[in-house]
Structure 1
Amino acid sequence: MIDVLVMKGPKRDLSIVKGPKDKFSRRFTANLYTRVLSNGEKCDRDWLVYSKELDKVFCFSCKVFKRGIGRGQLMNKSFSDWAHIGERLREHETGTKHVNNMAIWYELRLRLNKNETIDKTPQNLIGKEKEHWKNVLKRIISIVKFLAKHRLAFRGSKEKLYQNSNGTIKTEIIKKIKQAKYFSVILDCTPDVSHQEQMSLIIRYVNISSNSVSIEESFLRFLNVNDTTGQGLFNVLQSELKNLDLNILNARGQGYDNGSNMK
């Protein structure tokens, strides 16, 4: 976690120029980020962080690298005494512990950028592990999207069909088909283990539900078929399209699993 904080560094909301006023009408100002040296030069207090939620400031390097309880609120919790903020900042940035913490911060940041830390090998392994799990997550997302698009179950025989909340994906597919209006049907018959003829129903349509128009094919369901002739398949198809509230007159193409049925 320290390595991540060092690599990302403290983040400032540059849109915050002034904070809310306290009971003494004093408040945080962005001018506190700048330190004026004795020779008149100005430098950035890159360690100083202002929390909008807390309306307080704290020291990034001391928060990350301090050991034990240090002296001053900038090192421990945070500081919001705006009447004495200038004095406290000067006192803190010249303190020995702060200077040491700043040196540790800068050195570690440099070594991380050059990949020259003492734990270089573990860092490389951690990087490879992160990349591995990113790829795993991408595959999981792809699987979920595939199953959703084709209305396939996650757990096979354990899925309970025709129950409440089972059919959300189907509803979305039908909505897209109706939005496109015209569609094609693809039917394919295969006997299952009980020798019952089953016909898969796939609808091909133009998906215009998003900015990028695409042609999609969505599996809707398996249908039990007793008559595999062209007329028998048509009767089953006609009945199922009616159940899906799809108008068969909008069908603009048909595809079947053999030439005789096509004829």
Structure 2
Amino acid sequence: MNDTLAIPTYSRKVKDNRQPTILDHLESSPTKNISELLGEDININELDTLGFNLPYTSEICYANSDFPYDILNFVTQHIKEKLYTYSKIWNPPSSYIFPQINSKMKRLSFQHKWLNQYTWLSYSQLTHSAYCKVCVIFGPRYGGINCQKLGELVLHGFVKYKHAKEKFSSHEKCNCHQNSIKMLTNLMQIAKGMIPAIDTQLSNLKAKGAKNNCKYLQIIIQAIIYLGRQGMPLRGHREKSGKLDYNDTSVNEDNFKELLKSYCHLGGDETKLIFDNVANNAIYISPDIQNEIINICNNLIVEKLIKIVNKSTFFSVLADETTDISNQQQMSLVIRILNLDTIKISEFFLQFIPLNNGTGENIAKQIISFLKNNDIDITKIRGQGYDGAPAMSGKINGVQAYIKKKCPKALYVHCGEYSQNLVISKACGICEIDSLKIVSKIIEFLSCGKRSKVLYHVLKDIQRSKVRKLKKYSPTRFLQRQDSITGFLQALEGIVETLKIISRWNDNDTSNIAQELCSSIYETRFIISIFCMNYIFLKTVNLSRYLQRENINIVSAMNEAKRLLKIFEDAEVNANNIFLPIYERCLSLGEKLKINIEKPRLIIDDMLALESTFDYYKKVIFLPLLKTIITHFKLKFAGHNKIF
């Protein structure tokens, strides 16, 4: 009798007389239902108590029904069955006698003590060899470098018992075995409810990642909205790509990234962790993403405003064209409605529309196209408000003419504040000396560098002066214009003293300009003109404020304009009484500055040569100012009066 162990034969043909593997054994055996194999005393629903919810149709592949709990029978495909089958693997009893095999003239057999020493070890009655039950059930079929097939203890039974301990120890330390142990441990913890199931963990991890991504995007969006509200630029002239390094304070980056750094430090470790865990391909702080978020915010705002506009019965269109800092011509579009939610007149800025052509026809097409693209019914237009430029107000080729062809009920109204500004501009042009230009030059000259510091200290030394800094004069900022002239007159004494100090500097160019400006102030005509213009501004400032309110209507606006016109007409009639306090203020200032308020030298034949200084400047400056304002006021507001 041959003492060598006889290996059972299988239906699969084995090449090269090698030892059969588990795969060979499985392919030669039929499958049986789990209920048939385990009997009526085993209920499949017991698996439900472990949290696996195994379906009744599930089948376990048993290779040999004579040894139903042999290690070879429990290579299943369904992960949910593995833990159950692991607990049913057959272990040889202590009375079991292992067969002996010949190994180089020695008769060796499997030892019971190995099962106690290596708890993962299992013995197969079918092949009379040793297997790692953890790797067989939970391990992969390939591993190591280049994904080679696993051999002994996994796919092949181990029978070289002479080197058993060395083999078992090396197998226990390999990565495949360690990973199989981890899988078994995790499944046991899941079954006992110590940790969530894998699908639950993945779901929770995905939810946590989505939540962190939402927080990350919220911070980015909040930063962009904040900078937009404050009118601050997001980017500078240098752009640094890659993840945000919130600990890098050596470089002052653009406003957007510096604001994100502040969010990180204020938000603490949780916010920093969110920024650290962001994937390199999902940073979302590039200029393209910034612009995309800005466009999304724009679309959301416009969509909300359009809903309010569509609720109203009628609306008016207000538009003005301008050029931005990049020399791109564009038009601002505003809608004016009766807000049915608040029962008040409301104005909504909708959009900046780029213009490639500044003709009236093109601008009108752009307005109509924008309204139609946003589902706004253009037949509801009842009013148009623009400035007096020919491209906007022209009766034939202006914007208002083209829109009126589409919407016959859309009445055109010239902007009331622009109309008043044109009236004042005409009045300023009648003076031989343009006092407002001189004022603008002086303010600009004293607002630069160390000259502004000299002015500040001079005004500070003058106890009665409350002004410390001059406001710039702007011909288009109507309310600021009046504040600029008033502040200039209050600080005039300090301005003269400052110009005298600067005129003594060694810088010839600067000192010459200061001396020239100081000489202009000492002109009597300048003093009289600037005080007369201040009177005009003080009377028109209330109408300017009223015309810029969004909740007024044209009837009340015209009533205010008529009231102001009546004030100027009465001032023309009572010129002596109105001009007298203005003239007295000029005399008072002349005494402080040592300026002689006198009329210029005239030829004898001039009828004004016989007039007093008071009457001369009343007839030369004050009355012409009033007449010009009254005439042009009636002319510019005549179109408004025709509407009602």
Higher relative contact order structure (alpha carbons within 8 Å, sequence separation ≥ 6): 1
TM-score of the superposed pair, with normalisation by structure 1? 0.38
* Structure of greater Rg: 2
